[in-house]
Amino acid sequence: MVTEAQARRILYARGNKNAYTMSGFSALKLVENKTPPPKKKDTTLDDFGKAGMGAAFNPVNPRTVASCKRYYEAGIAGDECKMVLQQAQQYERMTGKEMFGIDTQKISIYSILPRLIFGMTERNIIYIKNWYSLAPTDKQTLAPYFDYRGVAYPGKSGLFIKDQLPKGRQEKRMFETFNIIHGLDIQVTPEGYIYIPNFQDSDSYIKDLLEFYFTPDGYAKMYFQNGFLSRLGLQLREHVPSKIKTREQLLTVFQKIKKTEFTPEQAKKIILKKNPSLKTDIEKMDPIFANHLLSRYRTYILWSPFFKEQLMLLGTTELADDVFKLDEEYEKVPTALAVTYYNKGKLGIAISNAYSANPHKVALFLEESIGNGWIPKGCNKLDYITAHEFAHGLVHIYDLSRDTLIRDIELKLLAEGKVSEEVSLHAELNIREFIADAWCEYVLSDHPRPPAMQVGDRVLEFLQKKVIVL
Ligand SMILES: [Zn+2]
């Protein structure tokens, strides 16, 4: 007795082209009737690859090729699969027909996958933990997605997970869910239940991934709240919703705070009174910058409780290098004007010693930058420096670069090639600079343009959330 599968293989080996399409019954019947093999015909391309491998293991059999692709996905493909795919590709080249749908890049990545150990950085970017032990050719294969340190390029984490990480990898579902959770507008009812508004209207792919964690009407199941998020390295953090809800309110508070001027020494005292553990040396700065930093600090801690909690340094780059023990010595880089550091949930905002002591130097920089479009229109003000760095602080603390609404605004402009025209040249660098410069225009310009208004309004809206996913 033969099984159906064996019968099909036997028939195929006998040259029956319909071996895999006929019904199982016919296949068995034909084999059991011991139909004599058809007369030997001339060798055709269809016979290619059979030699020496046994007819049942025909590399150009679409089923064999498909199985091998699945073995690759599952990370269990052996040398024979490699040979099958090579021969199938050779066959495609010989016949000039693409029939097996072999994605060479994907297959090469699949063959490396079993050796890769993935991790996720603190900023939710995937990276390869054992990058330095990989062969140069492996690194080459992964180069479209990972940089020279094995960290996914900005925006490539999600793409790699979706397109290249096969279902067989246990991290797949976790990473995918992780990415989706991040883009979700998670809210909390007054009774404290976590839910996703309009969950029913989400697309089926998202619903499929989340059905394990959410009820059909979008409420988180209990075990979702305990443990699932922490396994993903995510936190739902309760947030005191901001009372500042509009641009006008924000600007009014800022103007009011800005009215009183202080000496740099007084500014330092005020900051330390708000947070005694904050590191600052703003007494070294020109009074203009000390006051800018103080006003923005006072406004932003009123507006965001996380900002107050996480800002641990506000001062010069010299102090920042000292406190953060950074490899880069920013105070020695003449072109570094200001830097925002974010490390292990702690934020530092620093202005270079040279610039912070010399408003004239900053004014020259701004004049040049507004001329060549590097900074947004209406931002040729000394306060641009602090507005920009504080915006970076918000981006870090609230993970704003993952916000789907903000990303959509950026993607639309990118697609139209209008980022530099409608925001700034600087904003073209990456999503973080895009948000920071749009934000500057929002708070500094008398007439912010539409992208700045959209981004700024979204940031205000974001800070009104009761729960934030980080
Ligand atoms: Zn920046």
Residues 412-423 have pLDDT tens digits of 998 899 999 999
pLDDT at 328 over 70: no
Range in 38-47, 407-416, 431-440 the model is least confident about = 38-47
Say which residue, 390 or 46, is predicted with more confidence. 390
Tell how far the Cα of 390 is from the centroid of ligand 1, in angstroms: 10
Range in 203-212, 269-278, 326-335, 376-385 the model is least confident about = 326-335
Say which residue, 343 or 100, is predicted with more confidence. 100
| Global pTM value | 0.63
Range in 26-30, 51-55, 224-228 the model is least confident about = 51-55
Tell how far the Cα of 5 is from the centroid of ligand 1, in angstroms: 63
Tell how far the Cα of 340 is from the centroid of ligand 1, in angstroms: 8
pLDDT band at 231 (very low <50, low <70, confident <90, very high): low
pLDDT at 361 over 70: yes
Tell how far the Cα of 427 is from the centroid of ligand 1, in angstroms: 8
Q: Is the dihedral of CA 152, 158, 160, 166 positive or negative?
A: positive
pLDDT at residue 364, rounded to an integer: 95
pLDDT at 258 over 90: yes
pLDDT at residue 166, rounded to an integer: 77
Tell how far the Cα of 468 is from the centroid of ligand 1, in angstroms: 24
Say which residue, 336 or 177, is predicted with more confidence. 336
Tell how far the Cα of 158 is from the centroid of ligand 1, in angstroms: 24
Tell how far the Cα of 18 is from the centroid of ligand 1, in angstroms: 64
pLDDT at residue 286, rounded to an integer: 97
Percent of the chain's residues with pLDDT above 90: 41
pLDDT at 326 over 70: no
Q: What is the pLDDT of residues 119-177, one digit of tens each?
A: 876 556 788 989 999 999 999 999 999 999 898 887 787 778 878 887 767 777 667 66
Tell how far the Cα of 392 is from the centroid of ligand 1, in angstroms: 7
Q: What is the pLDDT of residues 35-80, one digit of tens each?
A: 444 444 444 444 444 444 444 456 578 888 888 888 887 777 778 8
CA distances from 245 to 172, 250, 398, 446, 449 (A): 38, 8, 17, 19, 19
pLDDT at 249 over 60: yes
Q: What is the pLDDT of residues 265-295, one digit of tens each?
A: 999 999 999 999 999 999 999 999 999 999 9
Tell how far the Cα of 81 is from the centroid of ligand 1, in angstroms: 49
Say which residue, 216 or 350, is predicted with more confidence. 350
| Residues in Cβ contact with 424 at an 8 Å cutoff, skipping those fewer than 6 apart | 373, 374, 375, 376, 379, 437, 441
Partners of 467 in beta bridges: 238
335 burial level (CB within 10 Å; 0-12, 13-18, 19+): exposed
Tell how far the Cα of 399 is from the centroid of ligand 1, in angstroms: 15
Mean pLDDT within 318-344 = 76
Mean pLDDT within 11-38 = 72
pLDDT band at 226 (very low <50, low <70, confident <90, very high): low
284 burial level (CB within 10 Å; 0-12, 13-18, 19+): middle
Tell how far the Cα of 283 is from the centroid of ligand 1, in angstroms: 24
Tell how far the Cα of 435 is from the centroid of ligand 1, in angstroms: 9
Q: What is the pLDDT of residues 294-312, one digit of tens each?
A: 999 999 999 999 999 999 9
Strands 311-316 and 279-280: parallel
Say which residue, 356 or 31, is predicted with more confidence. 356
Say which residue, 28 or 54, is predicted with more confidence. 28
Mean pLDDT within 355-367 = 94
Q: How high is the mean pLDDT of the chain?
A: 83
pLDDT at residue 295, rounded to an integer: 97
